[in-house]
Structures are given as structure tokens and as C-alpha cells.
Structure 1
């Protein structure tokens, strides 16, 4: 059976069978992947990262996709990855920071699980990005501004979108990964 037919069938199934995933949304370096890994261990649920899945499927880094094909093409590919991941059940899914820019992504995530916004101050994000060796290859620039100005500008634009997409949020600035996971479990009564 062709992959697109399987995807369409799975898309129909999630409308019939209740699905429960945990989606971690938020800006770059707010802890989505790191929190997701520990949370998946605590829940005994698999963890998937939409950016990692996208890179595996495309067999090239995000920076190359954006450089050669542009952000619109990347977002289109990301949308298909999100759609596939939303067909799964009992998974922790760390999304790319811009996945919520597409209202259809938000709709399908809200229908198939709980959406948790991991937040951080611009200063915290900048510090984490500076310490993250994968930032350069996996996180292409979103604007032509410096890192801190880009973070502030992008958060000003995205924060209302994150807020509209979430079931609840957690400020990650002053919490350990363990505390964040415990808070998620308590809020979801798991």
C-alpha cells in the first residue's frame, strides 16, 4: 500500500479511536526534547521529536532544507511529519518551535492529546542556545538579526500562538528537568 494511502487511513482512524499523546511546544531551547526524554521514561511512553523525524525522512539537516528550498517548503514537510506523529498513541512528542504556526497542526495536536507549552525568558533561551552544540546545524536563523534580537522578535510574534495552542504552560527558567516532568504529571494527573 502506498504511504499516502496509509497516511490517509491513519488520519481517519484517529477520528474514531481516542488517541492520547503529550505534545511539547515552545521556542527553541525551552527544553522540549530534554523534558520529553525524561517524561517518556517516567510514563513508559516512547519519545519522538518532530525535527529528528523530519531529518531522518529527508536524509538531510533542517538547515540544508531551509537554505535550498526555503521556510515554506520546510513548514510543508514539517506538517506531514506532525500529521504522521499525531496518528500514534501514548507517545511524548517534542515538536519543532514553529510547528504551531500552522493552525492545522494545532488542531490535530489538540484533538489527539494534551499540548504543553514550555516557556523561557529570552535571556535563558540565548544562554541555552549558546551552550547547545547542535544549534548551528539544526536551528537555522529565523531573521537577519542577532541572536538575542531574533529571540525577542520571534517570541513577540509566537507567544500568542503558543498560548492559543496550549492546554497549559510551564515556565522552565528556574526548574530542573525533573521538576518540569513532575509538574506535567501532576497537572495531567498521571
Structure 2
């Protein structure tokens, strides 16, 4: 099996679940946002503030296209990576896509509680957080669904339990356990 790409909106648990899943499957874990920040020596928020969203989205695509997929890693992607058709094609052609989701109200609460949100994740619109989340989900949810081989409601699963659920769906009957 190739890479496993985790997609979904902010704070759906892509990074946390991805780390557990990588450990569970004894695979390398990557987070495209962290790779991008490391590559360009800046945070996403700083990049967007300095150069704008279009520039960031272009760098996000470059980052995705340059990932080393040779050892079939588990990859947490940025929430908006699915906006570019080129990225959607890349994800579906190069691996298994797992969609992690939750309701707008739960995501809004998680974003407010997430220490990284303010500093590293810039606002997407000028709307308040709740309205922004609802608007973005309205646009993105059909794209997430169209790519997903597996969908996991992260309101129902902790990141560790979500990782086990993904493993069970990808490898039914497998005895692999987190140590």
C-alpha cells in the first residue's frame, strides 16, 4: 500500500491521529504544514501576512509534490490542500486518502482551544471564527468527500482510536497494535 494522506479541516486531528497511525503501522510520519515551514524557514501565518494566500497555496503545492513517498509514509495535510485540483489529483493517484471530520461548532471550539491556531494558522476570512468555519466547510466538504477512501468522524473517536479505526479499515483482521 502507498502513502496514507489524512485530509480535513483545521483541528480535525490529522496530526495527532497521523502520529498514532504511523506508530501503529511502523511508518514514517510527515505533516505538510511542518515540512513547508521548515523548508521556507517561516510560519504559515508569516508567509501569508508577507506574501498572501496565493503565494502560500503555491508553496503548499510545491511542498506536496516534493514529498518523498518512497517508504509509504502517513501524511497529515494542511486543511486547504484540497482546494487545488493539482493537489487533489496527486493525493488520489499517489496514496490512500482518509478524511477526518467534525461539525463546525466542535471545530470552532477546538480551534479556540488550540494554542497553535492564533500564531501559526492565519484567519481565512474577515468573518468571525464560527462563521468562517461554517463557510469554509461548506466549500471544502464536497472536495474532502470526493477524495476520501475512508471517512472518520473525530467527534466519535480520540486520535488513538481513530488511528486504530483507520488501520482496521485498511488492514482488516491485522494483529498490528500500538506498543
Which bin holds the TM-score, normalised by the shorter protein?
over 0.9
Q: Which moved more, 1:93-102 or 1:171-180?
A: 171-180
Which of the residues 159, 177, 190 maps onto 2:141? 159
Q: Secondary structure at the match of 1:134?
A: helix
Structure 1 position 124 matched with structure 2 position 103? no
Q: TM-score, structure 2 length as denominator?
A: 0.92
Give the number of aligned pairs: 172
Which of the residues 162, 171, 179 maps onto 1:180? 162
Q: Can you give the 5+ residue segments of structure 2 that lack an aligned partner in the other structure?
A: 175-179
Quick check: which one's helix share is greater?
1
Tell me, in whole angstroms, the C-alpha distance in 2 between the residues paired with 1:122 and 1:150. Answer: 9
Which of the residues 11, 35, 53 maps onto 2:17? 35
Tell me, in whole angstroms, the C-alpha distance in 1 between the residues paired with 2:113 and 2:65. Answer: 31
Query: Pairwise mapping of residues 1-190 of structure 1 onto structure 2 (< 5 A)?
Result: 20-85=2-67, 87-189=69-171
Q: How far does the alpha carbon of each residue in 1:76-134 deviate from its partner, in whole angstroms, 9 at most, with x for none?
A: 00001111126433200000000011111111111111000000111111111111111
Question: Higher RCO, 1 or 2 (CA under 8 Å, sep at least 6)?
Answer: 2
Q: Can you give the 5+ residue segments of structure 1 that lack an aligned partner in the other structure?
A: 1-18
Q: How far does the alpha carbon of each residue in 1:56-81 deviate from its partner, in whole angstroms, 9 at most, with x for none?
A: 01101101111111111000000011
Deviant stretches of 4+, over 6 Å:
none
Q: Which moved more, 1:99-108 or 1:81-90?
A: 81-90
Q: TM-score, structure 1 length as denominator?
A: 0.87
